[in-house]
Amino acid sequence: MSSALVFGIVLISSHRCSSSSKAMVSTFNKIHSVCRSSHPYPRSEVQRVPVADDKVSWTIDHPEYKPVEFTQPFIHGQVWADEEITPENKSQFKWNTLDEHQVNRVGHNGVYTIDPDTGRPRNPFGRTGLSGRGSLGRWGPNHAADPLVTRWMKNEEGEVVKDPESGKPRLEFLAIQRRVGKMWALPGGMVDKGEQALDTAQRELCEEALNSSEWNLNEDKQQKHLVSELFAKSEPVYKGYIDDARNTDNAWMETVALHAHDPTDGNRTRALRMLGGFSGRCAMGADFIFYYILRLEVK
């Protein structure tokens, strides 16, 4: 299946700013619409310093800018988190590379800059009103992966449902409802150290949508085999920055969204035990297609 996927969830398109200041302001404004408006910062009472649209870019001089410094206390000492950056250790951080500890510090949107005074990475999309790491473990990019699992929508007779206006087949995709906040989202999570995005996407699908923690040995083997087959021909449909409420001036979320379409007429996904995992319940149906503004154009 050759397709062009366009979807608008929390993912922001690749960073492309024109040379004109007007276009740049517009681009940054769209990119930080979630991040800059998160008041207070998630799971805290910390308020961001307001950043005007025309002051978001680091290329714009803003001497009055004094962001609030905040890193969640629980971050400190975690095995998955970085140390604080100090004058003594800042040279140890290998920015824009996969370092010797298999920590991926490469950003999907290109080379990010380092603040010459603090030695900290700078958010490639500009000021956020908050410095530090917030609730993110890594300085710089914090990598995630999101599985986008799809199949053709069918009616009760087993026929593929087509859109009455365009005549094109409708698509279903897998979504989970978070227990906290009841928001619908793609299953997904953080890429572990040394892990590839494809491995993360499959692991998170098993954990969040299939409740893999409750599997017995036979189920574990069977379900993982089905997931592996499902992702055998998966393709990345997005790599880059996410406009996430947790982002700060010095730490931000990036993701790889991997599209895995069920080529078996829906049989493979129907064989998966979609029970929901520790973070929510799951569903695969048409009710959530247009909520996420998902379109498929078949070529």
pTM across the whole model: 0.81
pLDDT on residue 274: 65
pLDDT on residue 295: 36
- Residue 213 burial by Cβ neighbours in a 10 Å radius (0-12, 13-18, 19+): exposed
Cα-Cα-Cα-Cα dihedral sign, residues 15, 21, 27, 32: positive
Q: Name the residue among 217, 261, 46, 62 with its Cα closest to residue 133.
A: 46
- Residue 107 and residue 140: Cα distance in Å, rounded? 8
Q: pLDDT > 90: what percent of the chain?
A: 51
pLDDT on residue 78: 96
- Residue 77 and residue 74: Cα distance in Å, rounded? 8
- Residue 200 and residue 191: Cα distance in Å, rounded? 6
- Residue 17 and residue 20: Cα distance in Å, rounded? 8
Interacting residues of 274 by C-beta distance below 8 A, sequence separation 6+: 174, 209, 210, 282, 283, 284
Segment 86-131, tens digit of pLDDT: 999 999 999 999 998 899 999 999 999 999 999 999 999 999 999 9
Q: Other CB atoms closer than 10 Å to residue 184's CB: what's the count?
A: 17
Residue 241 φ/ψ, nearest 5 degrees: -65, 145
Q: Name the residue among 60, 48, 42 with its Cα closest to residue 249.
A: 48
- What the block records as the tokens of 291 is 């909520």
pLDDT on residue 275: 53
Helix (H, G, I), strand (E, B) or coil at 239: strand
Residue ranges of the chain with pLDDT lower than 50? 1-28, 276-280, 284-299
Q: Other CB atoms closer than 10 Å to residue 230's CB: what's the count?
A: 23
Is the domain spanning 143-159+171-242+256-289 CATH 2.60.40.10? The answer is no
- Domain extents in the chain: 143-159+171-242+256-289
- Residue 36 and residue 67: Cα distance in Å, rounded? 12
